Every structure is written in structure tokens, then in C-alpha cells.
A = this chain, B = another copy of it.
Amino acid sequence: MPNLPQAPKAASRPTLELEHFLPYRLSVLAQLVSESLHDLYAGPFDLTVTQWRVMAALGRFAPLTASDVGHRIVMDKVAVSRAVAGLMKRGLVERATDRADRRRSSLRLSTRGRAMHARIVPLALEYEQKLYAALTPEERQTFNSLSDRLFARAEALRL
């Protein structure tokens, strides 16, 4: 093939290759991982992702108010309210109205809730380990530090 001069590419329009597009890739990866994990505890314990996250937050930081939970797990107050309602109905979470400010109430896992939490945590950590097995320890650290920076940037861009 002769090496002809190229015709000038008149303002060639940019193309978007979805499979290499960062927001898309993040979304697909996160969804796959989230669903896989959910499969682990949905069957045995019948929890939604939201409910499990609320339990995880309470298992680690209780007592928390509903808004505290929301901040911890990046979830709006409506979602938290609904998850808590479901968890209370099943006796997994207890609520005590704050005596000083009766608008808020502090939440904590009940005994049953703590027991369930203690059974799920190892499953979750085991899954995480299996996933991390794809990377060396140094690579894990790298990945986490890079994703931290992406996150910070995304927050900054959101205005």
C-alpha cells in the first residue's frame, strides 16, 4: 500500500466508545459486584442492599440517628426511613427517642440484629477477599488510592 498523504480530517467528530468510557465502566463494575454480594445475603437473610447497609452502619457506629446513618452510607433520608421501618418490623433494629430533642431518635441493632450482623460480616469479607485476589496487595492499595482521588474529583465537579 503506497504511503499517500492523508486527506486532512476536517474537524473529525469525537467518538464515544462506551466500553472505554469511565462512567460506564464504573457503573457496570459496581453493579456486578453489588449484585454478587447481594446474592450472598439476600437468600439466607432476606435483606435489601439498603437494609444491609443500614445494619452495617449501625453494627459499626451505633447508636446513630437516622440522618447520621444517611450521611455514613450516602443515602437520602427517605431511603433510610424505609429501610429502618423494615428492620424494626423484623425486630432487627431498636429505636429510642432522644429525650433532649424529640425530633430525633437513636438507632441501634437489637440482639437479634447483632446476631444477624455477626453472621453476614464474614460472608461479606470473604467475598471481598475473593475479589481482591485479582490484585496483589500493592495493587489493592494503588486501586484504592486512585479511586479515592477519582471520588474526590467527582465531588468537586458536582459544584
Number of copies: 2
Contact with B along A125-159 (1 / 0, CB 8 A): 10110111111000100111011011111110110
Contacts of A132 in B (CB 8 A): 22
How far apart are A116's CB and chain B's nearest CB, in angstroms?
13
The CA of A105 and the CA of B56, in the complex, are separated in Å by 46
- Whether A134 and B122, one on each chain, are in contact in the complex, defined by CB atoms closer than 8 angstroms, is no
Contacts of A24 in B (CB 8 A): 53, 73
> Is A18 close to B, CB under 8 A?
yes
**Which secondary structure dominates where chain A touches chain B?**
helix
- Whether B158 and A29, one on each chain, are in contact in the complex, defined by CB atoms closer than 8 angstroms, is no
Which of B27, B57, B125 meets A34, CB within 8 Å?
Answer: B27
- Whether B127 and A29, one on each chain, are in contact in the complex, defined by CB atoms closer than 8 angstroms, is no
The CA of A37 and the CA of B122, in the complex, are separated in Å by 35
Which of B19, B53, B121, B144 meets A25, CB within 8 Å?
Answer: B144
> Is A100 close to B, CB under 8 A?
no
- Whether B158 and A36, one on each chain, are in contact in the complex, defined by CB atoms closer than 8 angstroms, is yes
- Whether B127 and A152, one on each chain, are in contact in the complex, defined by CB atoms closer than 8 angstroms, is no
